[in-house]
Amino acid sequence: MKISLATGLSVVVISSILVGCQNSEPDGASTEKEVNSAESQTDFSEQEQEHDHDHDHEHSHGHDEKTEIYDGFFDDSQVSNRSLSDWEGDWQSVYPYLQDGTLDEVFEYKAELDDSKTTEEIKGYYDKGYKTNVERIIIQGEKVTFYKGETEYSGQYINDGYEILTYEAGNRGVRYIFKLVGESDGLPQFIQFSDHSISPNESDHFHLYWGDDRTALLEEVTNWPTYYSSELDGHDIAHEMIEH
């Protein structure tokens, strides 16, 4: 990974075969460089696979500025910092809905769009991406609470800037980073949000990366726990993914 610093902003260039988010096809979940930041993760994280999530999207939307930004095409000047309030709320992991079959219609839909992959192959890719044992996250002000089974972990997180990630395919993504104040057992030192926005905006879902090594965490590209509002049921989430 090559990192260059300019005016306080890190632009990270990652060599990878890029894949899409919810509505793009898993054309390549592997990266040219084997990445494993599991050793730096805290005890409640599940670092099974690493995700290539800030990636190349193929959407049917018009090519307006908002869509281009979502697809990862923007100028540095368009990027601005965001506060934790953009992700405030009660969020649930989508992984249980993959496990119980609720999201099967999403993978079947994707397979119809790309006959080079079976529904099972696509589901397997997202199984690696969504996998986590943190079923719920609540964000209130600077307080972030992670729920793992019957155990909850809470800590204060403050803004630590953002990183622009540039991929070989030419598209880019932004990770918004927050760091833990002090130390707390079971909590990661850093959390990084990716939701395809590059300026202050209330998020409707997000992908979260967490760990103790800020730089190594940026190389996390195949495991991307994904969270939607806890007010939605699994079918609501599936329909949003298809319409997305």
Tell me: the pLDDT tens digits for 13-22? 443 322 345 4
Q: Please report the pLDDT score of residue 113 as a whole number.
A: 94
- Encode 202-215 in three state secondary structure: CCCEEEEEEECCHH
**Three-state DSSP class for 15?**
coil
Is the entire prediction scored with pTM above 0.85? no
Q: How confident is the model at residue 63 (pLDDT cuts 50, 70, 90)?
A: low
Q: Please report the pLDDT score of residue 225 as a whole number.
A: 98
For residue 240, what are the β-bridge partners?
A: none
- Mean pLDDT for 130-134 is 98
Residue 203 has pLDDT above 60, yes or no: yes
CA distances to 18, 29, 208 from 57, rounded to whole Å, are: 9, 14, 18
Q: Taking Cα atoms as reference points, which of 77, 61, 89, 87 lies closest to residue 176?
A: 87
Write the pLDDT tens digit of every residue in 159-185.
999 999 987 778 899 999 999 999 888
Q: Please report the pLDDT score of residue 214 as a whole number.
A: 97
Write the pLDDT tens digit of every residue in 85-119.
999 999 999 999 999 999 999 999 999 999 899 99
Q: Please report the pLDDT score of residue 21 as a whole number.
A: 53
Q: Cα angle vertex 50, ends 4, 207, to 5°?
A: 85
Q: How confident is the model at residue 59 (pLDDT cuts 50, 70, 90)?
A: very low
Residue 26 has pLDDT above 70, yes or no: no
Contact 33, 176 (CB under 8 A): no
Mean pLDDT, rounded, of the chain = 80
Beta strands in 95-150 (DSSP E): 136-140, 143-148
Residue 157 has pLDDT above 60, yes or no: yes
Q: What number of other Cβ atoms are within 10 A of residue 9's Cβ?
A: 14
